[in-house]
Structure 1
Amino acid sequence: MQTVQYLAHIHNELNSAADVISDAEAEALISTILHARRVYVVGAGRSGLMVRSFAMRLMHLGLEAYVVGETMTPGLAQGDLLLIATGSGETRSLIPMAQKANSFQASVAAVTISPQSTIGKLADITVTMPGSPKEQRGNQTIQPMGSLFEQTLLLFFDAIVLRIMEIKSIDSQAMLSRHANLE
């Protein structure tokens, strides 16, 4: 296959991704985000990059959002939400975070390929995403490692932003007023 053919195939995979994601799970996550005092996001590797971009958009929406591990991130407490993006649901560094969030009586949400994983079972809310474990390519994708999951994360989080914009009657101009201006 040539490069553009690969691109077309990836595009088709992403088009099919929406068929795997449950509207009910997505709406439950949105409701939890909107009712949380603060939203904390975490993920490892490329999943972490995708969820960090989501935290930025939540801030643009006027929500109090933080990335776990940043120096300016306050402590998690009851009434907060810890959103974990993890394909496998077994990322060793993330499991203790879910356990600790539970001990603080914070809500835990997992966006994952594996809702029956350790993190999925620790979560109050799970959103099941398409993809295959990093170790293998599956029937859903020709892409290596967790690429389909990570790409779908980015698009799913952008769709959540659009839904929150609709619910809160926020437009791009209002979000732009919260955009960084020291660039």
Structure 2
Amino acid sequence: MKTTDYLSLIIKELEQTATLISDSEADQLVEALLNAKKVFVTGAGRSGLAGKAFVMRMMHMGIDAYVVGETVTANLEQGDLLIVCSGSGETRTLIPIAEKAKELGGTVVTVTINPQSTISTIADRIIQLPGITKDGSAGSYQTIQPMGSLFEQTMLLFFDAVILRFMEIKQLDSNTMYGKHANLE
């Protein structure tokens, strides 16, 4: 099979995942963003990279957003939002972060494949995305892709869709957002 044939199959998988995401859960995330004073995002590996891309877009929209663990990350306080990106919902390094956010009075949202996971039990809201975990322990969605690729790709595109919905509500456009784009490049 040609590389471009694989690309076509991946795109078809992503089209199918979009129909399986709950609009209600998506709206809850948008609402949480609208109500949060500050937003923090954490994740490990490729899930963390998708989360970092989301933080960048939130910053472009004027949201006070941070990646957990970076040197410039603010402190989480009551009224702030933590978004935990974990396909399995069992990532050992992320569980104590979610617990600490709850102790500090933050709202915790998890984006996961597994709504019965440890992180899901801590979270105030769960956004379930289709896929399978990297070790195959959670999720029943069929994919040609290795490990957690489908989940990670779906999450990246889902976050972009959340950004578009937020832009619509706040009446923002790309020109407005470009004013917050890095200019030391």
Name the structure 1 match of 2:183.
Answer: 181
Structure 2: distance between partners of 1:159 and 1:139: 21
* TM norm structure 1: 0.97
- Superposed CA deviations along residues 60-91 of structure 1, whole A, max 9, x for unmatched, are 00110000001111111110000011000000
Amino acid at match of 1:112: T
Structure 2: distance between partners of 1:35 and 1:109: 13
Q: Name the SS for the 1:109 alignment partner.
A: strand
Amino acid at match of 2:14: L
Name the structure 1 match of 2:59.
Answer: 59
Whether the aligned pair in 2 keeps the contact of 1:58 and 1:64 (CA below 8 Å) is yes
Would you say 1:82 and 2:75 are equivalent positions? no
Amino acid at match of 1:160: V
Give the Å deviation of 1:138: 5.2
Q: Name the SS for the 1:167 alignment partner.
A: helix
Whether the aligned pair in 2 keeps the contact of 1:55 and 1:66 (CA below 8 Å) is yes
Give the Å deviation of 1:182: 0.7
Name the structure 1 match of 2:173.
Answer: 171
Would you say 1:123 and 2:123 are equivalent positions? yes
1:150 to 149, 152, 156: 152
Name the structure 1 match of 2:28.
Answer: 28
Amino acid at match of 1:60: H
* TM norm structure 2: 0.96
Whether the aligned pair in 2 keeps the contact of 1:130 and 1:140 (CA below 8 Å) is no
Q: Name the SS for the 1:153 alignment partner.
A: helix
Structure 2: distance between partners of 1:139 and 1:88: 13
Structure 2: distance between partners of 1:20 and 1:171: 28
How many residue pairs get matched? Answer: 183
CA RMSD, aligned part only?
1.1
Amino acid at match of 1:45: G
Give the Å deviation of 1:140: 2.2
Give the Å deviation of 1:115: 1.1
Structure 1: distance between partners of 2:141 and 2:155: 19
Identical aligned residues as a percent: 57
Structure 2: distance between partners of 1:57 and 1:139: 28
Whether the aligned pair in 1 keeps the contact of 2:83 and 2:111 (CA below 8 Å) is yes
Structure 2: distance between partners of 1:57 and 1:8: 27
Structure 2: distance between partners of 1:47 and 1:12: 21
Name the structure 2 match of 1:98.
Answer: 98
- Superposed CA deviations along residues 10-42 of structure 1, whole A, max 9, x for unmatched, are 010000011111000000011011100000000
Whether the aligned pair in 1 keeps the contact of 2:130 and 2:141 (CA below 8 Å) is no
Give the Å deviation of 1:3: 1.4
Give the Å deviation of 1:163: 0.3
